[in-house]
Amino acid sequence: MEKWSAVTGDRNAAPREAAHGQPAPSINQNSAGIPLPDFCNLGVMLRVLILGNAMGAAAALVKAAGPIEFWDLFLRAAVFLEPTLLLSLVVLCALRPGLSRLSYRAGQWVVGLCVLIIASLIHRAGSALLGAESLYGLPQSLMLALLVTAVLLFYLDLRARALSPALTEARLQALQARIRPHFLFNSLNAVLSLIRANPKRAERALEDLASLFRVLMADNRELTSLEKEVELCRQYLDLEELRLGDRLHVIWHIDKMPGDALIPPLLLQPLLENAVYHGVEPGSLNGEIVINIYRNRDQVVLVLKNPYHGPSSHHGGNKMAINNIRERLALHFDAEGSLKSQIAGDAYQVTITMPYMREGH
């Protein structure tokens, strides 16, 4: 457990992104394309199986003259589709590290080629075990496999784009605007008041402010490490404590935090800002924010707790931030990512659960 106060300087300063005398990195605003889906994700697997079988049923329905023929055609399609879908998911999951390094178009070709090879092998094995009359012909089977693959990739791509922060630009801008003008104004005033009394602290505050806004303005569709997100949060809290002073107390439980875990950027920082804005500022006494980050088997859990003072006029902004984080968790982790919020007495708690992913895995 780490109890930290930026005012007293108890925390050892972590390495800065820009050392003294060196130019800070420029803001990266290059857009990132929609990546291939994570075929190891349980949510993606379920969508592939459900939609694949639905397409098999639709193909049988188009060709069938009645219910009996429909069931016969559907069973023939299912005998081929089920093992093809399952084996394709296993192979594509194993190939995930390589697929992640390819462009989207090249990845599509690799997926299609894998499916064709697997479909051919499944058709040959099925013909040997069940007889050729139990399956569609090989050309029909391969066409069905390609059609299902194309529709699935199109659907998953469409779903990713619908959830993509690039297409929710207005809400993202509003989310980023939670670094409110008065926050910038107060931060700069606090820096001005420190220039003569504590010039090193003033310089560090300006570096914190530059780092924070650089991340806010950069493309946020690429995953970042949990360690970097925590450091960004520390820089943000440094700035808030310049104006709130001893009223703001932050307790970190990060001894079991997997720093190399990949998470969506700006995942924890907006929640901390809500905690300061809704939990600490309205109170007349000191406010305590508790952050607990740990690994639970193959999952990363983030728990944030702050004081609760009842519904306020800012509740809509808080709900917007929560909904935006939920959307980004769904974009990156599908059904394996979740956010839950609850009110327990005089405390408000947010719990985020997501899969433990690392670079190159």
DSSP codes, 89-115: HHHHHHTHHHHTTS-HHHHHHHHHHHH
Residue 212 DSSP SS3: helix
**Boundary residue ending a domain (132, 163, 194):** 163
Asked whether residue 193 falls in the same domain as residue 289, the answer is: yes
Residue 351 has pLDDT above 50, yes or no: yes
Asked whether residue 159 falls in the same domain as residue 107, the answer is: yes
Asked whether residue 249 falls in the same domain as residue 138, the answer is: no
Q: Which amino acid is at 41?
A: N
Quote the pLDDT of residue 32.
Answer: 45
Asked whether residue 105 falls in the same domain as residue 13, the answer is: no
Q: What is the pLDDT of residues 110-139, one digit of tens each?
A: 999 999 999 898 888 877 776 656 566 778
Asked whether residue 200 falls in the same domain as residue 108, the answer is: no
Vertex 288 angle, CA 284 and 294, to 5°: 160
- In angstroms, the CA 234 to CA 208 distance is 9
| In a domain? residue 35 | no
What does the block give as tokens for 121?
């092998």
Asked whether residue 285 falls in the same domain as residue 179, the answer is: yes
- Tell which wins on pLDDT, 220 or 316: 220
The closest of 310, 224, 229 to 268, measured between CA atoms, is: 229
Quote the pLDDT of residue 170.
Answer: 42
| In a domain? residue 27 | no
Asked whether residue 203 falls in the same domain as residue 61, the answer is: no
CA distances from 301 to 73, 122, 336 (A): 46, 40, 12
Residues 6 or more apart whose Cβ sits within 8 Å of residue 66: none
- In angstroms, the CA 231 to CA 229 distance is 5
**Boundary residue ending a domain (163, 188, 213):** 163
Residues in the chain, overall count: 361
Asked whether residue 138 falls in the same domain as residue 285, the answer is: no
- In angstroms, the CA 286 to CA 264 distance is 31
Asked whether residue 346 falls in the same domain as residue 242, the answer is: yes
Q: What is the CATH number of the domain that holds 268?
A: 3.30.565.10
| In a domain? residue 260 | yes
Quote the pLDDT of residue 167.
Answer: 42
Asked whether residue 176 falls in the same domain as residue 189, the answer is: yes
Percent of the chain with pLDDT over 90: 19
Q: Which residues form the domain of 61?
A: 42-163
Quote the pLDDT of residue 326.
Answer: 87
Asked whether residue 208 falls in the same domain as residue 348, the answer is: yes
Q: What integer is the mean pLDDT of 50-64?
A: 84
CA distances from 321 to 154, 180, 356 (A): 29, 14, 23
Residue 223 has pLDDT above 90, yes or no: no
- In angstroms, the CA 309 to CA 252 distance is 22
Quote the pLDDT of residue 270.
Answer: 84
Instruction: Render 18-47 in DSSP notation, one character per residue.
Output: S-TTSPPPPP-----PPPPP-TT-HHHHHH
Quote the pLDDT of residue 260.
Answer: 93
- In angstroms, the CA 30 to CA 232 distance is 21
- In angstroms, the CA 215 to CA 265 distance is 8
| In a domain? residue 323 | yes
Q: Which of 95-99, 185-189, 239-243, 248-252 has the lowest mean pLDDT?
A: 185-189
CA distances from 249 to 2, 74, 86, 294, 307 (A): 11, 63, 51, 21, 11
| In a domain? residue 36 | no
Residues 6 or more apart whose Cβ sits within 8 Å of residue 165: 172, 220, 221, 327, 328, 331
Q: Which letter, b or e, does each residue of 346-360 get, where b requires 16 or more Cβ atoms within 10 Å of its Cβ?
A: eebbbebbbbbbeee
| In a domain? residue 33 | no
Asked whether residue 132 falls in the same domain as residue 183, the answer is: no
| In a domain? residue 318 | yes
The closest of 134, 160, 109, 172 to 323, measured between CA atoms, is: 172
Number of domains in the chain: 2
Q: What is the pLDDT of residues 135-145, one digit of tens each?
A: 667 788 788 88
What's the pTM value of the predicted model, to 2 decimals? 0.67
Residue 42 has pLDDT above 80, yes or no: yes
The closest of 256, 253, 325 to 289, measured between CA atoms, is: 253
- Give the model's confidence band at 284: pLDDT under 50 very low, under 70 low, under 90 confident, else very high: low
Residue 219: in which H helix or E strand, if any? Answer: none
| In a domain? residue 80 | yes
Residue 85 DSSP SS3: helix
What does the block give as tokens for 45?
């697997």
